[in-house]
Chain A
Amino acid sequence: MIDARGLSCPLPVIRTQSEIAKNHPDTLEVLVDNKPAVGNVTRFANNSGYNVTVKELEDEEYSLVLTKR
């Protein structure tokens, strides 16, 4: 799991990118707390062969679950 709460772009995407590059996980959960980060991580994941489901947790926090296609 990557906790990118409190970080603004591009850092959440970079964290996701390096995790995918290093470990090629089948599923990966990313926590973020702003809308641009949701959009950017989702777009990056889609381009890297992952499907994304976004769940809004309480208080403006989002859980993105990335699943390999």
Chain B
Amino acid sequence: MKENFFKKYWLVMLCGLIIGAAAVTLTAFGNPANMGFCIACFLRDIAGSLKLHGAGVVQYFRPEIVGIVLGACLMALIGKEFKPKGGSSPVIRFTLGAAVMVGALVFLGCPLRMVIRIGGGDLNAIIGLVGFVLGILIGIFFLKHNFSLGRAYKQSKVEGLAFPVMLTVGFVLTLIGVTFFAVSTEGPGSKHAPVLLALGLGLVVGALAQKSRLCMVGGIRDAVMFKEFGLLAGFGCILVAVLVGNAILGNLNWGMEGQPIAHTEWLWNLLGMTVVGWGCTLLGGCPLRQLVLAGEGNVDSAITVLGMIAGAAAAHTLKTASSADGTGVNGPIATIVCLAVILIVSVTHLKKEQ
């Protein structure tokens, strides 16, 4: 049984270990503390670099995001799994993507950074994990009652490639020094690993995540719903790699106060991640998985990522995003609104038994 488990799930576990190691490496080479890999933070930084919001401290066109999408895209093309598909409630997906991002920025991290924060000793992230699991359980309740955003249909190759190509073009423009993109001179946006290292590790993670289908939400969901622990093992491997890496580098500091780019308002840490867990369960995958699917030509996921970028812009413009000082002035009310929106989506998409 045990041997069988490793044989079946070695790829997703290897992927988890590599993501964890990549996160520690990127932090060692300049990324913000406990933020080696955070899809929410990085999409927020990209929104900032496009000047969709004016928060000067979080503006940078993160190469990791480009790498993940391209890595997944290339791997899917090689494995003949690039299958453009879409048309499953695009506006609802955009909205859910935005809500998930608002929730993530109340907590200060996507599910991936939540694990990375735990691996750095940040106990606030354990409270986030409780909220995350709670959100997934609520989502599972609706899945079990036949929740569906409707079926997707085949799309053209051009449609499927549009998002990966758009992202690549934007990235190349930043490389050749086009000046209309913003770059932070202070704060988290100014802290970044060398471009090629970030891009390269993004490519590796994207390719492996595509092959192994690693997903933070899927791990907990499948364990609860189907007693399948493969994806959850990948989740665990990320934590192990980050813990070991931080212990080696001496970055492991257990506690709640004074954690890097984190706050201690437990209720909003919890509810922010409830928004993320619930929203992502309805969407079918965590922010990392959405990027990977967008790379595979899934335009519903591409729309979701665009929704997340819009959500990030809104979060900073409307002052709902948290900072190390605590929640934004409008953070709590925005969290409640997001929960209400997700509840409405959940209830209005319950299909009758066929």
**Which of chain B's residues has its CB closest to A59's CB?**
B154
Interface residues of B in 198-232 (CB under 8 A from A): 213, 218, 221-222, 225-228
Q: Is A34 an interface residue (CB 8 A)?
A: yes
Contact A60–B151 (Cβ < 8 Å): no
Given A7-B148, A34-B83, A35-B81, A14 and B225 contact (CB-CB distance below 8 Å): yes
- B153 interface hit (Cβ, 8 Å): yes
Does the CB pair A14–B151 fall under 8 Å?
Answer: no
Provide the residues of chain A in CB contact with B226, threshold 8 Å: 10, 13, 17, 44, 47
Answer whether residue B284 sits at the interface, using C-beta atoms and an 8 A cutoff.
Answer: yes
Distance of A6 Cα from B222 Cα, bound (Å)? 20
Instruction: Say which residue of A7, A8, A14 sits within 8 Å of B144 (CB atoms).
Output: A14
Residues of A within 8 A of B152 (CB): 6-8
**CA of A18 to CA of B85 in the docked complex: distance in angstroms?**
26
Say yes or no: B81 contacts A6, CB within 8 Å.
no
- Cβ < 8 Å to A, chain B residues 71-89: 81, 83, 85, 88
Q: Which residues of A contact B228 (CB under 8 A)?
A: 43-44, 47
B143 contact from A14, A43, A60, Cβ within 8 A? A14
Q: Which residues of B contact A25 (CB under 8 A)?
A: none
Chain A residues near B150 (CB, 8 Å)? 6
In the complex, the chain B residue whose C-beta lies closest to that of A39 is B213
In the assembled complex, which residues on chain A have CB atoms less than 8 Å from the CB atom of B213? 36
Q: Which listed residue (B88, B143, B151, B298) contacts A10, Cβ 8 A?
A: B143
Asked if A11 CB lies within 8 Å of chain B CBs, one says yes
Complex Cα gap A17–B144 (Å):
10
CA distance in complex: A45, B332 (Å): 43
A9 at the interface (CB under 8 A from B): yes
Q: How far is the CA of A47 from the CA of B228 in the complex (A)?
A: 10
Q: Are A10 and B81 in contact (CB under 8 A)?
A: no
Q: How far is the CB of A42 from chain B (nearest CB, A)?
A: 12
Output the nearest chain A residue to B298 by Cβ-Cβ distance. Answer: A8
In Å, the complex CA distance between A16 and B154 comes to 23
- Type the 1/0 row for B144-170, where 1 means its CB is closer than 8 Å to any CB of A: 100010111100000000000000000
Closest chain B residue to A36, Cβ basis: B213
Chain B residues within 8 Å of A7, by CB: 148, 151-152
Chain B nearest CB from A33 CB (Å) reads 8
- Can you list, as one digit per residue, whether each of A4-33 has a CB less than 8 Å from chain B (1) or not (0)? 011111110110011000000000000000
Contact, CB under 8 Å: A6 / B83: no
Name the distance in Å between B105's Cβ and chain A's nearest Cβ.
26
Contact with A along B275-288 (1 / 0, CB 8 A): 00000000010000
User: Which residue of chain A lies nearest to B301 when distances are taken between CB atoms in the complex?
Assistant: A8
Distance of A18 Cα from B88 Cα, bound (Å): 22
Task: Tell me the complex Cα distance, A62–B226, Å.
Answer: 22
With both chains docked as a complex, state the minimum distance between the C-beta of A3 and any C-beta of chain B, in angstroms: 9
Chain A residues with CB under 8 Å of B88's CB are 6
Cα–Cα distance between A60 and B225 once the two chains are bound (Å): 27
Chain B residues in 8 Å Cβ range of A60: 83
Residue pairs across A and B with Cβ atoms less than 8 A apart, 12 shown, are A6-B153, A8-B152, A10-B222, A10-B226, A10-B284, A11-B148, A11-B284, A13-B225, A14-B143, A34-B85, A47-B228, A60-B83
Residue numbers of B with Cβ under 8 A of A are: 81, 83, 85, 88, 143-144, 148, 150-153, 213, 218, 221-222, 225-228, 284, 298
Q: Which 4 A-B pairs have the closest CB atoms?
A: A6-B151, A6-B152, A8-B284, A7-B151
